[in-house]
Amino acid sequence: MRILLVGAGGVGDAFAKIIARRTFFEHVIVSDFDLTRAERTIVAIGLKHGHAVAARFSAEQIDAGDPDRVESVARKHGATHVMNAVEPKFVPTVFAGALAAGCDYLDMAVSLSEPHPTDPYRQTGVMLGDDQFAQAADWETAGRLALVGMGVEPGLSDVFARYASDHLFRQIEELGTRDGANLIVRDDAGNEIFAPSFSIWTTIEECLNPPLIFEKDRGWFTTPPFSEPEMFDFPEGIGRVECVNVEHEEVVLMPRWLDAKRVTFKYGLGEEFIGVLKTLHLLGLDRVDPVRVRSAAGPVLVAPRDVVAACLPDPATIGPRMTGKTCAGVWITGTGLDDRPREVYLYHVADNEWTMREYDTQCVVWQTALNPVIALELLAAGTWGGIGVLGPEAFDAKAFLDLMSAPESDGGYGQPWGMEDRLA
């Protein structure tokens, strides 16, 4: 397996550092628009693991917005798989480049949505992933696999949902992805600062778009942003966090393969974060279409959202100043295998202190990057396999969770997951 990794930002860097500890692959081409970022990742791997491990990595400059460049780099290195670790706005081009190169493909966020033009807070427009699923026949004809949404959320949450459907429930009322954390970032003086732990570009997209909900008797529909607030109790000391509806891939992916009466996604944002997002929207700073800005060199076109991203700390750099844990999981209600009501929360927690110590990577991007590495190992072993455009729900969840939780000494990843029965 030869993997072209597109993007050496926070998640791409974490992906490379995680896979460096594994032996199932032949080579990883770490690529980025900024070649120095790709090279820096490989240097870090060499310092941690030695020259022999670093020799299994090489760096390339790439423009993720150019499908021909993605194809040419993949062909140059004989890549068998393209791992997309850049912003979701680049999904169409990386997706196209991978297919043109004859590679299998993985991503952690699917193609972007477009709100309904006249009724955005009740009706769907173009949904997340529609562009990719529309091309499923092309991937099937080519005999290639596109595994979409294989991060943590989406990704691990979808694996949990499949596991619950196969092993815990006879009938599912709701699959409710719930994501929360108690992370704090401080400046050099020890003051708490606003510094999102994940790409602000992606966060704005998710949180200000109309949230998506699925109901079996109604199909997909939308609500206003930050709707249906609820307090959710997260495990391992994180505690109660207010969660709100947010547009997310799980609501698109889970109903395609799993039988549930309702599917939701709620994110624990917090009052300050919601306030910042509302202000950005009010000022038009969430826009992605360029605006003309005067500068000393003359007028330039700049996307307001890119300016916001440039003004905030890079999520890849905030790990040393961050404390706390992040939790990703799925809350499932329904009828258990014993025909009695059941309510379960399946989850995984990442501690920033541990991920920084072990991988020199902050916990949110590390937790996201872990899951595609596990998926690739299952694909390499032949445990997982398929053709077409598929989500994580299409594969055996137990095999994934067994490999994830097994001790590293036994060939696993040493990452136990939790299950809480919550029905009193």
Spatial separation of the C-alpha atoms in residues 294 and 140, rounded to whole Å:
49
Q: How far apart are CA 409 and CA 391, in angstroms?
A: 30
Quote the pLDDT of residue 353: 96
236-268 residues labelled b (16+ CB within 10 A) or e (exposed): eebeebbbbbbbbbbbbbbbebbebebbbbbbb
Residue 347 tokens read as: 């989850």
Dist CA 304 CA 284 (whole Å): 7
> How big is the chain by its Cα radius of gyration, in Å?
21
Phi-psi region for residue 360, left (φ > 0), alpha (ψ -120 to 50) or beta? Answer: left
pLDDT of residue 322: 87
- The Cα 345–Cα 419 span in angstroms is 6
What is d(CA 77, CA 6) in angstroms, rounded to the nearest whole number? Answer: 13
Asked if the domains 2-115+127-151+367-414 and 156-365 are classified in one and the same CATH topology, the answer is no
Q: List the domain boundaries for the chain.
A: 2-115+127-151+367-414, 156-365
CATH fold, domain 156-365, is: Dihydrodipicolinate Reductase; domain 2 (3.30.360)
Nearest one of 148, 140, 183 to 273, comparing CA atoms: 183
Helix (H) / strand (E) containing 363:
helix 363-381
Q: Are strands 291-293 and 230-234 parallel, antiparallel or unpaired?
A: unpaired
Q: What is the pTM of this model?
A: 0.92
In the chain, what is the straight-line distance between the N-terminal and C-terminal CA atoms, in Å? 48
Per-position b or e across 30-54, b if 16+ CB within 10 A of its CB: bbbbeeebbbbbbebbbeeeeeeeb
Q: Give percent of the chain with pLDDT exceeding 90.
A: 79
pLDDT of residue 315: 77
| Tokens found for residue 98 | 């991978």
Q: What is the pLDDT of residues 370-393, one digit of tens each?
A: 999 999 999 999 999 999 999 999
Sign of CA dihedral 225, 228, 229, 232: negative
71-76-81-83 Cα dihedral, nearest 10 degrees? -70
pLDDT at position 193: 78
Tell me if 369 sits within 8 A of 18, measured CB to CB. yes
pLDDT tens per residue across all 424 residues of the chain: 999 999 999 999 999 999 999 999 999 999 999 999 999 999 999 999 999 999 999 999 999 999 999 999 999 999 999 999 999 999 999 999 999 999 999 999 999 999 999 999 999 999 999 999 999 999 999 999 999 999 999 999 999 999 999 999 999 999 999 999 999 888 888 888 777 776 777 788 778 899 999 999 999 999 999 899 999 999 999 999 999 999 999 999 999 999 999 999 999 987 778 888 889 888 888 888 888 988 777 888 888 888 888 888 777 788 788 899 999 999 999 999 999 999 999 999 999 999 999 999 999 999 999 999 999 999 999 999 999 999 999 999 999 999 999 999 999 999 999 999 998 6
In this structure, are residues 129 and 111 in contact, taking their beta carbons and an 8 Å threshold? yes
The tokens of 231 are what? 């307090």
In angstroms, the CA 393 to CA 382 distance is 17
Exposed, middle or buried: residue 315 (CB in 10 Å: 0-12, 13-18, 19+)? buried
Topology at the third CATH level for domain 2-115+127-151+367-414: Rossmann fold (3.40.50)
**Exposure letters 372-406 (e unless 16+ CB within 10 A, then b):** bbbbbbbbbeeebebebbbbbbbbebeebbebbee
Cα gap 365→387, rounded to integer Å = 28
- 226 — alpha (psi -120 to 50), left (phi > 0) or beta? left
